[in-house]
């Protein structure tokens, strides 16, 4: 079973416990249909706007054995508040550039 590290928005962590991320990951649903069921090995925030801590946190997750980095849907889709991160594309691309050759990158979860 592959291992996933999920990076979430720090601004939404006080209103979303991430349960849907854990459910879809463990069942291999939605964004995880291509990977099948995965084990969540890490669940961290981007560090707050503008998301500069996402890159070093992704590196730590990869160093600790994750096969997939997934950006929680709060970042790209704005769940649950309907406000996507204005820095999402830049943050995702920076992570892809740094660790994309070592793991799969998903830009959403559910």
- Find the CATH number of the domain harbouring 75: 3.40.50
pLDDT digits (tens, 9 = 90+) for 76-107: 999 888 899 999 999 999 999 999 999 999 99
pLDDT digits (tens, 9 = 90+) for 22-66: 999 999 999 999 999 999 999 999 999 999 999 999 999 999 999
Q: What is the 3-state secondary structure (H, E, C) of 2-40?
A: EEEEEEECHHHCCCCCCHHHHHHHHHCCHHHCCCCCEEE
Split into its structural domains, the chain has a count of 1
Q: Is 90 exceeded by the pLDDT of residue 110?
A: yes
Q: Which domain holds residue 67?
A: 2-106
Q: How far is CA 38 from CA 19, 47, 82, 83, 100, in A?
A: 14, 24, 27, 27, 18
45 with 8: CB under 8 angstroms? yes
Give the pLDDT confidence score for residue 29 in this predicted structure: 98
Q: Is 90 exceeded by the pLDDT of residue 14?
A: no
């Amino acid at each position: 079973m592959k291992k996933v590290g999920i990076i979430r928005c720090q601004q939404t962590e006080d209103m979303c416990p991430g349960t849907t991320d854990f459910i879809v990951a463990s069942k291999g649903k939605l964004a995880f249909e291509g990977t099948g069921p995965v084990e969540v090995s890490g669940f961290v925030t981007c560090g707050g706007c503008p998301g500069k801590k996402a890159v070093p946190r992704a590196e730590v997750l990869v160093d600790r054995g994750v096969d997939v980095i997934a950006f929680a849907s709060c970042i790209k889709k704005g769940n649950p508040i309907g406000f996507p991160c204005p820095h999402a594309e830049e943050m995702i691309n920076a992570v892809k550039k740094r660790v994309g050759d070592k793991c799969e990158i998903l830009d959403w979860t559910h």
